[in-house]
Every structure is written in structure tokens, then in C-alpha cells.
Structure 1
Amino acid sequence: MPAPISIIIPTLNAEADLPGCLDSLMPGLDAGLIRELIISDGGSTDGTETIAEAAGARILAGEKGRAKQLIAGAEPARGDWLLFLHADTVLSRDWAEHVMEHLNTRPEIAAVFTLAYRSDDRMAKAIAARANRRARWLGLPYGDQGLLVSRALYDEIGGYDDIPLMEDVRIVQAIGKKRIAILSAEARTSAAKYERDGWRQRSWRNTWLITRYLMGASPESLARLYR
């Protein structure tokens, strides 16, 4: 039987973060979970392609835009399961065992990882905890938490929508809270934007954007405010 998971990572000038992300995938390779690695690139001009080639990835070059890249990456994927990851996310070493248990016991639903930030700032744990509560209570995890979804369920909901922002929110809304499990393995994501903008400021800005989206603001209008 072929390995079950196609891993899809959208990239754009990701040479600083991609090696850590790829290295964290090794437990899944050792466990026989990974069928293929697809890098969906949006026009990188740095060493992203070289890093991806060295890892044995299939590289798809296409139009820039995370939703477009996720859609393009999923299209040719051959796995029965799709694992979408951001290039600046590093999975904890125990991720493979938690994913294997999920595939064996709850194959009808999707899953995300528990969010953590790669930072020693005292705000990092507090903001991650708030995000994880949101994911549990509202069924609205961040894209930074990854998304593990069966090909059948992905096709059933129509996959990602080609929108300039909130594609991660839109797809988990389509899946529905009752069909998303939160694994205790961590997705440790970059804290660069929080460190640049300030932890409180960035957190409230993100909350403001998603609140506006849930109240009906268009992704196009919100994308103009996002940076």
C-alpha cells in the first residue's frame, strides 16, 4: 500500500524557514506516512527551489497568492490524505504518531495541530493559548496550525476558495467544527510578524480582521489592510 499523505507547502522566498519545516517532517517519513512532498511556489527569487529540490520535493511554479498555491498544490496530489503546511511552521517530533492514530481512529474528519510560537517572549504562550481556545470553541483554527484532510472530504467541500485572504478560515468553515479534531502535537510557527509589530498589536489586528470577515467584509477589502 502506498503511503497515505501528500504534504503541500506554499512558498514564496522561504529559504530562511523552509529547512526547519522540512526537517520536522522526517518522523513522518520514517513512519511511512509521507507519499510525496509538493512545494507550490509563487515565484521565489531566493534559494527556495534549491532547498526543495534537495529534499526531493515536486516543485510547482505558479501564480503568487497562498490560496492559488494551495489549490495548485492539491490538484495533482496522489495521497488519500492531504497535509497543508506553511513554510514557516515546524512540527513537533511526536506529530507522526498523533497523525497515525488519527488516521486509524477518526478517518472521517479533518485535523489540525496545536498552535505554538517559536519565541521566548512571555506573550507567545498567552496568544497561542488564546488561538487554541478559539480553535476548540469556535472550530476556527489558524492556517499556521496546518490542515490534515482526506482527499474525499477536501473534494466534497470543494477545496480552498481562490480568495486573497481568509482562505484558511473559509475552508474550516466549510468543513465544520464537528469534523475538525485538534491534535496535541504542536505546529510551532514563526513569531516574526508579532516581533515586528508587537505581540498585542498584532494579535488585536488579527482579531479585528477576522471579526470583520465573519461580519461580512470581503476578503478583497481585508487583503488591502493586511501586511
Structure 2
Amino acid sequence: MLTVIIECQDQEPELAQTLAALVSGAVEGLVCDVVVLDHGSRDGTSQVADAAGCRFYSQWDINDILRSARGEWLLLVEPGARPQAGWIDEIAEYMSLNKVPARFTASRGYRRPFLKRFGRTKPPLELGFLVSKRQAIASAKTGMRLSEFTKGHKIRRLSSELIPSWVARAAR
């Protein structure tokens, strides 16, 4: 089972897009819970999270969040990111056969413009981050942001694609 954790601030429409894309994973029994960690949003982020049945926190300790996760694996994603067809079966198989973290492949239909692909590093969670709960707990430090969990890990690439969150921001 998988717990999805999303960290956001004033990203109501992006959060709604991501949660809608995760519904199929919940229906198939892969996603057992979704946790939204909010940094003082003043929009309808909390209402979107509540309507989707997410656990919503405006104050938290990352260690408590990780220990309370229902899934044995965690998927850390940015609000606005949307996994594409085939992600459910691939992640279920990956979790049963692997121990190292992984991330999605960038969607071929939504690549950054050619010149923007060079010279700048991608945000750490742009392609999500799939990690075992055990590994996340072992590397967690008080006050850590989700993007910091990617540091120091050998990461495999999933063949499933993810539409990155910047696409949702660009559509606004």
C-alpha cells in the first residue's frame, strides 16, 4: 500500500488536479491515504483536501507524519503533478520487487521548452519520489521539507510518465 504526501501553499487548483489523478490508484487499492502538508494557504486548499478525504495538516512534525503513514511506501509529489496511464500497476510491482527509491519519467507530451532544459537543475520533486516508509523515517530530520528527502539516494527511473507540476502552473 502507498501513502501519497503533498506539500503545498496556496495551490488549490494544482492540488485538485493531483488528487483527481490519484483517484484511480485509490479505487485499485494501491493508494491507502493521502496527506497534505500546508504552509499557511489562504485559498481553498484545505477544503479541496477535506473534500477528497485527505489528512490535512497546517502544523506538523515530519517524523510524526511519516510514522502515521498507513502505507509501507511513500510517494512524494508536488501539487499539480499527474501520473499517467500505467502508473498503478508499475508502482505496485516496483514496491513488491525493489527496495531503492524511484521517480517517474517526464511525460513526453509535456517537456520543458528546449532551451529551458539546460543550465538549471530540476526541482527535486518535479518527477515525484517513491521511497519506502522505512527509508524515509531513517533519513528524516525535524523541520525537513519533502524536497530534501531526495538527497543522498540512488534513484531508479520508472517507465511510467508524470506530467510535472509546472504544466499546471503554466495553465493558470
One-letter code of the match for 2:112?
A
Does residue 43 of structure 1 match 2:43?
no
49 and 149 in structure 1: CA distance in 2 versus 1, 3 angstrom threshold: same
Does residue 95 of structure 1 match 2:84?
no
Matched residues in 2 for 1:115 and 1:141: separation?
13
CA-to-aligned-CA distance 1:17-61 (integer Å, 9 cap, x gap): 111101111221122111111111111111111111110011111
CA-to-aligned-CA distance 1:183-212 (integer Å, 9 cap, x gap): 1112212336996xxxxxxxxxxxxxxxxx
How far is the alpha carbon of 1:111 from its aligned partner?
1.1
Matched residues in 2 for 1:182 and 1:31: separation?
23
Identity %: 25
* TM-score, normalising length: structure 2: 0.80
One-letter code of the match for 2:131?
V
Q: Which has the higher contact order (CA 8 A, sep 6+)?
A: 2
Residue from 156, 159, 174 that aligns with 2:152 = 174
- Quick check: 1:5–1:33 contact (8 Å CA) kept in 2? yes
Aligned residue for 1:191, secondary structure, equals helix
Q: 1:213 aligns to what?
A: none
Q: 2:132 aligns to what?
A: 150
Aligned residue for 2:152, secondary structure, equals helix
58 and 128 in structure 1: CA distance in 2 versus 1, 3 angstrom threshold: farther
Any gaps of 5 or more consecutive residues in structure 2? Answer: none
Q: 1:85 aligns to what?
A: 77
When Rg is computed on C-alpha atoms for both structures, the one with the higher figure is 1
Does residue 22 of structure 1 match 2:13?
no
- Quick check: 1:9–1:40 contact (8 Å CA) kept in 2? yes
Any gaps of 5 or more consecutive residues in structure 1? Answer: 135-139, 196-227
One-letter code of the match for 2:83?
L
Q: 1:112 aligns to what?
A: 103
CA RMSD of aligned residues (A): 3.3
* TM-score, normalising length: structure 1: 0.63
- Quick check: 1:27–1:93 contact (8 Å CA) kept in 2? no
Q: How many residue pairs were aligned?
A: 170
- Quick check: 1:118–1:189 contact (8 Å CA) kept in 2? no
